Every structure is written in structure tokens, then in C-alpha cells.
Amino acid sequence: MTQGVDVVVVGGGQAGLAAGYHLRRQGVDFVVLDAEVTPGGAWQHTWDSLHLFSPAAYSSLPGRLMPTQRGETYPDAGHVVEYLAEYEKRYELPVQRGVHVHAVRRDGARLRVESDGGTWRARAVISATGTWSRPFLPAIPGQDLFAGRQLHTVGYRRPADFAGQRVIVVGGGNSGAQIAADLALDGVDLMWVTQRPPRFLPDDIDGRALFDVATARRRALDAGRGDTGGVASLGDIVAMPPIRAARDAGLLAAKPMFTQLTTTGVQWADGTRAQADAIIWCTGFRPALSYLAPLQLRGRRGHIAIDGTRAVDEPRLHLLGYGDWTGPASATLIGVGRPARDAARAISQLLGARRL
Ligand code: FAD
């Protein structure tokens, strides 16, 4: 069955909900299609001990402050899931769950959105599919040789799953540091490996600063004042309380990156070896955009060329929430509101112009 609608939002995590909030304010007819069967986007799949790197009041979507979580300065992932579920209900956002979109195609004046739950013909599409479903693993020689267990950040849940094992955590970003700290503080035999020495943000800086810095960078770039370096100029790792605890206990001394895997572990260029039962690759994510392939918009580094959030070569398509390239700090709860508002306004104008 094919249904008509003004706008399809693909993805019902925080970015899709923020888009829905602003589309509703613009009076636009829309539907949100989400592959998950329950609300909360990627937050429902993170590891048990994950806490936000900003307090609740600095982690809110447009319109509704995130309530504080009792006893926690930094809310946990479960609290975020509850907040998103409540947000969706409060604003009566039309989210259809368990619907996976596999293609968007041009279809005359419309975009044809094909999913396992039916087909929609839309005047515009907002892509808000996040990155969690596209974990990135670097290619390392010997990867197929290793007889132990290899998993990505997305597969990690808790230290108890690695009790009595030798674990290597790869990656010097927030996920790598947090998972390394989680394991180390639980007494797991841990080796942390990073491509360059870990760069901790000053202890008194949390996620709030990241948003400010990303915004200042965008403003400087837009005003032609040059690149201020953004968040990366401060450091890579927010020194959350467990990270500080593990670091100060001497449990987070990182080793440089190895050059290959062996059947029993890893090996460095000078021939040094280390044994491992498991390797956890905390090596990042890529935007989940493969369903847009029929539009043939892929540019450099897998990114689609955009102006604000609008695809340069397909003005009926907006991209939301994938990182600074789709708006300053747009891959954060607090940062996605502004680009969501801009996308909804631009779409409302586009639809208005077409209706004339
Ligand atoms: P997601 O939450 O991934 O939602 C996308 C939704 O789209 C999912 O439900 C998915 O199933 C669905 N989807 C994907 N493809 C399709 C398809 N083809 N068809 C239909 N549905 C589809 N941000 C903060 O603000 N504070 C933090 O402290 C913080 N900590 C983080 C810690 C970690 C470890 C990570 C990985 C991220 C963290 N972030 C944090 C960043 C950010 O808030 C999350 O990545 C957030 O989940 C991104 O939201 P999203 O809506 O863009 O994507």
C-alpha cells in the first residue's frame, strides 16, 4: 500500500523526535518511521554503566527540560530512554515503530520512501537515522586469525561478561575510555590501546563545554574568521567520574596501537606481542545513510554535500543529527534542537512555495 504524506522522518531517536516537534509547530503533516520496536533510539542499546556527560538540564530536546535523575548528577542511559518515550507521548508525535526504511527514490514531484512497513510518497524527507547501526571497524592485518572474541562498542554491555579474561580495548575516544574504565574498575585484566596518547579534557569540563565550543566554531567558520579547532582543540575524552577514578588509580595507562592480530592476541611493529581473550573495538561509527543510495548523493568521506541540513543536490532531503557537519553538536541531545528547527522551517517554506 502506498500512502501520501508531506514529510517522512526516517529514524525515531532524539533527532527524529526533535524534527517531529518542530514540524508539528510548523503545522506540517508528517510521519516518523523508526526501525526500533520501542522508543529511545540508540540509548536503549548502550552499556549498563553509561551516563551522560552533561547534567540533565543541559541534555534537553526542544520544549521540554530533561528532569533530573534522583541521586545522579549525570543521568544514565535508562533515564534518557524514559525521557524520550515521555517526550514522544507528550507531543503526540506520530511515530510508527518496527518499520525499517530500505530505500528513498525520486518519484516525480515526490520522494518515494520504501520500507518493510509500506511505501510513502512524501514531498520531503528528513533523515535522522543516527550512527549506532553502522559501527566502524578499521582493517588490521590478521583480523581473521584471532581466535578470541572481537566486538565493537555496540556489543559491549558489562564487565561481568569478561570476568577472568584478558581484554584489549582499542580506541582513544569517549567510548574507549569509558569502557576501559568500566572494565578496569571492575578488576578485569585490561590493556587499553590508542592510536595517539589519550587526551583528557580538563577535569572541570563536561559535555556542556563541548556544545559551546562546537557552536563557537560554527559561528567563526560562518563569519569567515577561520577554524577555531572545535571540540578537538580541547581534548578527546570527557573526564567523567569513573574515568578520573580509573586514571588516578593508574589503571588507564594506554599503549600505542598494534600493527596486527595474531591467533592469540596482538603484535606491535617491533615484534612485541600481547595475549588476549577478547578485543573490544571502540573505533567509532559512520552515518547510517545506505538507504539513500538510490538518490546518488554520496560525496567525499561518505558524507552527502549539505547546506545547513539540506542536501545540496536534493533540496527535498534534510540530514539531521549526524555530527558537526549537520549542525554544531547535532549528534547530542542539546545540540540537535536548533538544526531540527531550521530543517522544519526550510521544509515548511518549501512546501508552502510548492502549494502556491
Ligand atoms: P539514534 O539514537 O541512533 O536514533 C536513530 C534511530 O533511527 C534508531 O531508532 C534507529 O533504529 C533508526 N533507524 C536507523 N536506520 C533506520 C532505517 N533505515 N529505517 C528506519 N529507522 C532507522 N549525547 C549527549 O547529548 N550526551 C551524552 O552524554 C552522550 N553520550 C554518548 C555516549 C556514547 C557511547 C555514544 C555512542 C553517543 C553519545 N552521545 C551523547 C551522542 C548522541 O546523543 C547519540 O549518538 C544519539 O543516540 C544520536 O541520536 P539520533 O537520533 O541521531 O540517533
Beta strands in 11-68 (DSSP E): 30-34
Same-domain status, 160 and 97: no
145 CA distance to ligand 1 middle (Å): 32
> Within a domain: residue 144?
no
> Within a domain: residue 220?
no
The type of residue at 288 is A
Angle, CA of 12, 97 and 334, to the nearest 5°? 15
Q: Which protein residue's CA is at the shortest distance from atom 27 of ligand 1? A: 52
Q: Comparing 356 with 124, which gets the higher pLDDT?
A: 124
Atom in ligand 1 nearest the alpha carbon of residue 320 = 52
Q: Phi-psi region for residue 169, left (φ > 0), alpha (ψ -120 to 50) or beta?
A: beta
Query: What pTM was estimated for this model as a whole?
Result: 0.94
| Number of domains, the chain | 2
Pocket of ligand 1 (CB under 6 A): 10-16, 33-36, 41-43, 46, 52-54, 59, 100-101, 128-130, 132-133, 175, 207, 288, 291, 321, 331-334
| Alpha carbons 118 and 29: distance in angstroms, whole number | 18
Same-domain status, 196 and 119: no
> Within a domain: residue 207?
no
Q: Could you tell me what percent of the chain has a pLDDT over 90?
A: 84
> Within a domain: residue 221?
no
Query: What is the mean predicted confidence (pLDDT) over 12-33?
Result: 97
> Within a domain: residue 176?
yes
CATH number, domain of 257, equals 3.50.50.60
Q: What is the pLDDT of residue 144?
A: 94
Atom in ligand 1 nearest the alpha carbon of residue 52 = 28
Same-domain status, 265 and 293: no
The type of residue at 243 is I
Same-domain status, 114 and 169: no
225, 256, 281 - which closes a domain? 281
Atom in ligand 1 nearest the alpha carbon of residue 333 = 25
Q: Could you tell me what percent of the chain has a pLDDT over 70?
A: 94
Same-domain status, 264 and 304: no
Same-domain status, 99 and 179: no
| Gyration radius (Cα) of the chain, Å | 21
Nine cell digits for residue 118? 509500506
Its domain, for residue 194, covers 149-200+236-281
Nine cell digits for residue 215? 557552536
23 CA distance to ligand 1 middle (Å): 20
Q: What is the pLDDT of residue 356?
A: 46
Same-domain status, 261 and 311: no
| 272-287 pLDDT tens trace | 999 999 999 999 999 9
> Within a domain: residue 230?
no
Q: Which residues pair with 51 in a beta bridge?
A: 76
Nine cell digits for residue 84? 524520550
251, 281, 311 - which closes a domain? 281
CB 158 within 8 A of CB 289: no
